[in-house]
């Protein structure tokens, strides 16, 4: 990877052995991060553990603290209440603990799992016993809501209980069952790595085993359930957490079965098989989740048929379809494919990627979830290659189109992230131009919460005998290299307000190790200076 080497500054470090703290013991899941590439065969960079890195001071430390003190608690109260919608109450009803009907969007379960994931990631840094007790209380209810066969979707379960004959598993793709279960799997892996407990992991494994049976021989009808495919990332992460090959096979099935869809659309990126795609099309959240999932499968399989479209689509996005903020999905409404011979084949596309260079400012959509999906995708592309250009996009999105999705007080949120807000608008737009505590589609706020809670996980990486410094901010790392050698370092900086960064090596073993420093840039097409 010559281009990757050109994008990093490398220095060697060899300092005296640091005195090992008496009585220190690594937690059960030490060394595993949000996306754990510790044993991924085709990863150039391994992730560090949730408990191995934390923010100390400065820009990101302030936002992580806000997440701890405001975002997670306030959102937890909102989701346990019923003033706006129902999240946790739906699980209680499905578990038979309270009476009532299902309320809220079909993807509310998945959005609740995102909050649970964010709270679990916080727990890795705080070890707050009250938070842990609360999460265990919630997980117990989720477990009771799960059917004996492993199926878990509160909306479908509650409707089926009152005799709705249309409420059957995987009958309607707009029930978002796979999306919900994908976020369950990811949340379960993060919770397990943060706590060492297996209560939520067991729920996710039962659900995944049901999916393995259901999708063993997928039909075109079942293939239609692949919208907003968080389940690909979820299944790969569950494979990493458990080592069970059937979950990786499940992820590969989810990706391949998209080619079975009849009369597919660009809205869901299933008009043509993924391996034949060359540009970003359709619903930007669904697209970026798909690309991130495909990159996850590549990290485990090295399948060149996946990498080829991933590279082509990435180039199309960063050079023609991405805002300067890292935002994705420029249009409220689009249409695709362009110029189809049969006009009936042209389908509407919501929150669309749009055409090349079609990047309006005032009417920019740039949904927070799409922008987070952009960071998730580029993070996995970086782990596969070690190429800094992917981390450049992660940084670009995190600082701009992701953080813009939340207010400074941690209680109000954007759904869309326009680049220009004016009193006079070209039309009455669907979403508010001001941040609000709740939207009927509440997918973005908990997604932002989990992203900030897990933000420190992006700062460092490891490879053999090297530490990779991917992002800059006041932080501390305490990890071990492949040979078992301990490395402790601290990063002191006022970045992004000041470009001066000081890295202190606090401890290391007797053997030299590399320290790879990313040189930030946003001009994704040109060779960077070594400076």
> Which residues are within 8 A (CB) of 66 and not within 5 positions of it... i.e. 6 or more apart?
408, 410, 452
**Do the Cβ atoms of 200 and 139 come closer than 8 Å?**
yes
Residue 338 forms part of a structural domain: no
Q: How far is CA 390 from CA 37, 127, 359, 381, 394, in A?
A: 16, 32, 21, 6, 6
Cα(218)–Cα(214) distance, rounded to whole angstroms? 8
Burial class, 47, CB count within 10 angstroms (exposed 0-12 / middle 13-18 / buried 19+): buried
For residue 90, the tally of other CB atoms under 10 A from its CB is 25
- For residue 410, the SS3 value is coil
Residue 467 forms part of a structural domain: yes
Provide the token pair at 299: 């990290």
Q: What is the residue whose two structure tokens read 């941040």?
A: 435
Q: What is the residue whose two structure tokens read 């990786």?
A: 248
- Give the CATH number for residue 286: 1.50.10.10
Burial class, 13, CB count within 10 angstroms (exposed 0-12 / middle 13-18 / buried 19+): middle
Cα(290)–Cα(328) distance, rounded to whole angstroms? 14
Number of H helices, E strands in the chain: 17, 11
Q: What is the domain count for the chain? A: 1
Residue 67 forms part of a structural domain: yes
Residue 152 forms part of a structural domain: yes
Cα(228)–Cα(114) distance, rounded to whole angstroms? 14
Residue 303 forms part of a structural domain: yes
Beta strand 466-469 with 513-518 is parallel
Residue 340 forms part of a structural domain: no
> Which residues are within 8 A (CB) of 500 and not within 5 positions of it... i.e. 6 or more apart?
493, 494
209: left (phi over 0), alpha (psi -120 to 50) or beta: alpha
pLDDT at 428: 79
Cα(48)–Cα(32) distance, rounded to whole angstroms? 6
Residue 228 forms part of a structural domain: yes
> Which residues are within 8 A (CB) of 45 and not within 5 positions of it... i.e. 6 or more apart?
37, 382, 383, 386, 461, 462, 463, 468
Q: Which domain holds residue 404?
A: 2-165+183-327+346-360+367-421+434-518
Does an H or E element contain 293, and which? helix 284-301
Residue 333 forms part of a structural domain: no
**Do the Cβ atoms of 481 and 527 come closer than 8 Å?**
no
| Per-residue pLDDT of the chain in tens (531 residues, 90 and over written 9) | 344 434 565 444 433 222 222 222 323 444 477 899 999 999 999 999 999 999 999 999 999 999 999 999 999 999 999 999 999 999 999 999 999 999 999 999 999 999 999 999 999 999 999 999 999 999 999 999 999 999 999 999 999 988 888 889 999 999 999 999 999 999 999 999 999 999 999 999 999 999 999 999 999 999 998 899 999 999 999 999 999 999 999 999 999 999 999 888 999 999 999 999 999 999 999 999 999 999 999 999 999 999 999 999 999 999 999 999 999 999 999 888 888 888 888 888 999 999 999 999 988 899 999 999 999 999 999 999 999 999 999 999 999 999 999 999 999 998 889 888 877 777 778 777 788 899 888 999 999 999 999 999 999 999 988 999 999 999 999 999 988 889 999 999 999 999 999 999 999 988 899 999 999 986 664 444 332
């Amino acid at each position: 990877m010559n281009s990757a080497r050109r994008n990093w500054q490398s220095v060697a470090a060899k300092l005296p052995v640091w005195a090992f703290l008496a009585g220190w013991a690594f937690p059960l899941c030490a060394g595993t991060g949000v996306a754990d590439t510790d044993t991924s065969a085709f990863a150039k960079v391994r992730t560090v553990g949730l408990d191995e890195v934390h923010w100390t001071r400065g820009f990101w430390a302030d936002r992580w603290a806000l997440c701890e003190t405001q975002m997670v608690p306030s959102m937890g109260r909102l989701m346990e209440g019923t003033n706006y919608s129902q999240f946790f109450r739906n699980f209680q009803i499905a578990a038979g603990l309270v009476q009532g009907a299902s309320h809220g969007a079909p993807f509310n379960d998945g959005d609740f799992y995102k909050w649970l994931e964010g709270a679990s990631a916080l727990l890795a840094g705080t070890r707050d016993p009250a938070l842990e007790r609360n999460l265990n209380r919630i997980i117990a209810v989720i477990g009771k809501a799960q059917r004996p066969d492993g199926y878990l979707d509160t909306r479908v379960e509650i409707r089926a209980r009152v005799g709705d004959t249309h409420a059957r598993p995987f009958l309607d793709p707009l029930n978002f069952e796979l999306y919900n279960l994908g976020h369950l799997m990811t949340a379960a892996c993060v919770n397990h790595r943060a706590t060492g407990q297996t209560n939520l992991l067991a729920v996710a494994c039962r659900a995944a085993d049901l999916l393995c049976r259901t999708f063993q021989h997928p039909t075109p009808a079942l293939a239609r359930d692949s919208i907003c495919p968080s389940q690909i990332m979820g299944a790969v992460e569950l494979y990493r957490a458990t080592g069970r090959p059937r979950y990786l096979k499940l992820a590969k099935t989810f990706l391949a079965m998209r080619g079975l869809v009849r009369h597919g659309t660009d809205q869901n990126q299933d008009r043509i098989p993924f391996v034949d795609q060359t540009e970003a099309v359709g619903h930007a959240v669904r697209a970026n989740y798909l690309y991130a999932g495909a990159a996850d499968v590549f990290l485990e399989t090295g399948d060149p048929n996946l990498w080829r479209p991933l590279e082509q689509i990435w180039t199309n996005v960063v050079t023609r379809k991405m805002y300067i903020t890292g935002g994705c999905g420029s249009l409220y409404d689009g249409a695709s494919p362009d110029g189809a011979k049969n006009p009936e084949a042209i389908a509407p596309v919501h929150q669309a990627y749009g055409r090349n260079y079609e990047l309006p400012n005032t009417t920019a959509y740039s949904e927070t979830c799409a922008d987070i999906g952009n960071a998730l995708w580029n993070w996995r592309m970086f782990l596969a290659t070690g190429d800094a250009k992917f981390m450049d996009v992660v940084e670009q999105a995190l600082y701009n189109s992701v953080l813009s999705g939340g207010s400074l007080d941690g209680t109000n949120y954007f759904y869309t992230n326009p680049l220009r807000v004016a009193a006079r608008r070209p039309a009455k737009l669907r979403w508010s131009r001001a941040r609000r505590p709740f939207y009927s589609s509440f997918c973005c706020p908990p997604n932002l919460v989990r992203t900030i809670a897990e933000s420190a996980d992006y700062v460092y990486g490891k490879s053999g005998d090297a530490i990779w410094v991917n992002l800059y901010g006041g932080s501390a790392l305490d990890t071990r290299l492949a040979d078992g050698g301990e490395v402790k370092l601290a990063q002191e900086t006022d970045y992004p307000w000041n470009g001066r960064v000081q890295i202190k090596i606090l401890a290391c073993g007797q053997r030299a190790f590399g320290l790879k420093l990313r040189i930030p840039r946003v001009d994704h097409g040109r060779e960077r200076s070594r400076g």
